[in-house]
Structure 1
């Protein structure tokens, strides 16, 4: 599908990844649109991204009106997402939305409402378009496991330089609106949204309540900024299924790949495991690897633009035997009518409500109902 893309978002954000993916899919990147009301630093990042891609930098209202514009890729900071999404949807553009959808359950619901009123297509980045996730859903729908009893899902990222963190019981806060730090991320939000979205999508039901804990184990940066690097939750769904979820971040040297995403589905007939790890034959020389250089503006290795060279790799030869479907490509196929939808805005709003309940649960040390 050939589409004209407006990028609402700047450098050192996931917009770097999304822009690359849309270009690789054959779309035309038309402009970077700067929404009114952004602070000076975020507006400057928009300008950096436009310069790096050779694109015009325009006010967002002008960008969405460009001839051929049909999709807005939205990756602005969380407080601005409802307003930016509403502006782009009202202009008739389909929306490709960064995860998490918003910084609160209320803002997420407002975005879903704007999409509904405008009648445009929307998808939020997730892992559900990957082959292993689709295989898990097919196993459930085909009845291979019988009645589903429980689900467990992990999303663990290996990025950044870990350090010994002083043992300390974390005192969590009741909201997740302070997600947008440059140096660190709240991992219950950043990583937890993946398994939350995956489990809810697999079960096709709504969550009722959440019990959650958060902690600091691996990174001095997270501890210094009072941001968790690990979270775990129990989620009760309305069909009686209980899901356990873990999410977080460890140092890049702790795992041979950038991340592990996994789901274990327990049914009356069988238990099956699906994950992001392709079956492979791995041969390792045993030689060590020097750690990468420390980048003060991106210590957690979050952004493409701040990584001057790929991370050092051990002397490994791997023969991958699996594959997957990029989420951007699946979104374009959905708009063309050839693929099922991934996570739409309405579903994503519910997933944000689950995360919001998890933070409140971790703060108040009790089960919390999902709004």
Structure 2
């Protein structure tokens, strides 16, 4: 039942591969959430992360607990906000669910489809509420949902999404001979790069999940086009996927990190919804003026921070502010999450949706590596479980 009591939030890790730092202002601003502690397993993390965790705890004026299990036993913890490396998230989410804590999970449930399945099962068994806020609440989705519900498009035939991050300094790639790096092993963490279909394409998949039925077939292509860091591993900095759902509807996306100065608003974020009666274009960066000089954008952040050349911890440079205050939808997601905890309507994007999102991404990577069309559902063995 709704109360005025605040939900205590435990922040589990400030991994540089996560968005935990972006969640902090949300918890501080919402009247029903209160950060009560930061926690991590100190004996399993490197010195830099131990230091960063302590810095955040000190800044927030809360204790730093050096054992996640000990932190989960705190009675003042109601919500666990997981911002650890992708390889740790599944076990942490399962432990938190078993402790009866509600979950706010940053993007990915786990590194493999099997790990994601375990989180879905743990949440169901514990009867707790869990949200993955990154994919179901952004500007594109908030604009697409009422359009789809209105029926003005007629029958939806398909949709396309472009979502690119204007970050990083592109440089010539002199060696294209390294084979494409697959994703079946569940290894995602690299000190100098992120797999960009995983990192940026996951947002687009979230929109396609809302527009289409369950994905039945996937074709993918991608590779390193802008950054030598990616090329030396055969990893993707840009990728495209084509999805076909069970009813034959088509979904396509392009996703990647495309370099500083390539877009006046930090990178395109737009969708085309194609219906039998009408077609609509949704642009999360509009209204805005598109006339600009690339040098103006480069001057905004030249040079990039030495410890963050790819812009993981900072937003892309832009000549104008976002078209709306909550473009990523995180504030909207937190409001819906708290309402659900109070006994309100069910969440629009749950761990089951996030598990399916990861299955689509893994199928896309396998399609790129094998240069073959993939059929879903994936076998757990084939997906690195």
Unaligned runs of 5+ in 2: 379-385
Please state if 1:184 is matched with 2:190: no
**Counterpart position of 1:249:** 257
- Greater percentage in strand: 1
SS class of match (1:191): helix
Query: Could you tell me how far apart the structure 2 residues matched to 1:118 and 1:319 are?
Result: 39
Q: Which moved more, 1:134-143 or 1:187-196?
A: 134-143
Please state if 1:346 is matched with 2:349: no
**Counterpart position of 1:307:** none
Q: Report the alpha carbon displacement of residue 267 of structure 1 after superposing the two structures with TM.
A: 0.8
What per-residue deviation string (whole Å, max 9, x for no partner) do you get for residues 291-318 of structure 1? 52243432101115xxxxx8766xx567
1:293 pairs, out of 303, 321, 324, with 303
Query: Could you tell me how far apart the structure 2 residues matched to 1:188 and 1:257 are?
Result: 21
Q: TM-score, normalised by structure 1?
A: 0.88
2:372 pairs, out of 358, 366, 370, with 366
Please show how residues 1-371 of structure 1 align to structure 2 within 5 Å: 2-12=6-16, 13-26=18-31, 27-35=33-41, 38-41=44-47, 42-58=49-65, 59-166=67-174, 168=176, 171-175=179-183, 177-203=186-212, 205-280=213-288, 288=296, 289-290=298-299, 292-304=302-314, 320=323, 324=327, 326-337=329-340, 341-370=347-376, 371=378
Number of paired residues? Answer: 363
What per-residue deviation string (whole Å, max 9, x for no partner) do you get for residues 110-167 of structure 1? 1111111111111113243134412212222221111111111121011111212237
Calculate the aligned-residue CA RMSD, in Å.
Answer: 2.7
Unaligned runs of 5+ in 1: 305-309
Alpha carbons of 1:207 and 1:134: their partners in 2 closer, same or farther (altered >3 Å)? same
SS class of match (1:264): strand
Query: Could you tell me how far apart the structure 2 residues matched to 1:55 and 1:151 are?
Result: 45
Alpha carbons of 1:212 and 1:312: their partners in 2 closer, same or farther (altered >3 Å)? closer
Alpha carbons of 1:264 and 1:23: their partners in 2 closer, same or farther (altered >3 Å)? same
Query: Could you tell me how far apart the structure 1 residues matched to 2:322 and 2:366 are?
Result: 44
Query: Could you tell me how far apart the structure 1 residues matched to 2:30 and 2:328 are?
Result: 12
Does the CA-based 8 Å contact 1:357-1:368 persist in structure 2?
A: yes
Alpha carbons of 1:265 and 1:317: their partners in 2 closer, same or farther (altered >3 Å)? closer
SS class of match (1:144): coil
Alpha carbons of 1:237 and 1:294: their partners in 2 closer, same or farther (altered >3 Å)? same
Q: Report the alpha carbon displacement of residue 104 of structure 1 after superposing the two structures with TM.
A: 1.3
SS class of match (1:336): helix
Query: Could you tell me how far apart the structure 1 residues matched to 2:267 and 2:99 are?
Result: 37
Does the CA-based 8 Å contact 2:196-2:239 persist in structure 1?
A: yes
Query: Could you tell me how far apart the structure 2 residues matched to 1:318 and 1:39 are?
Result: 36
Q: TM-score, normalised by structure 2?
A: 0.85
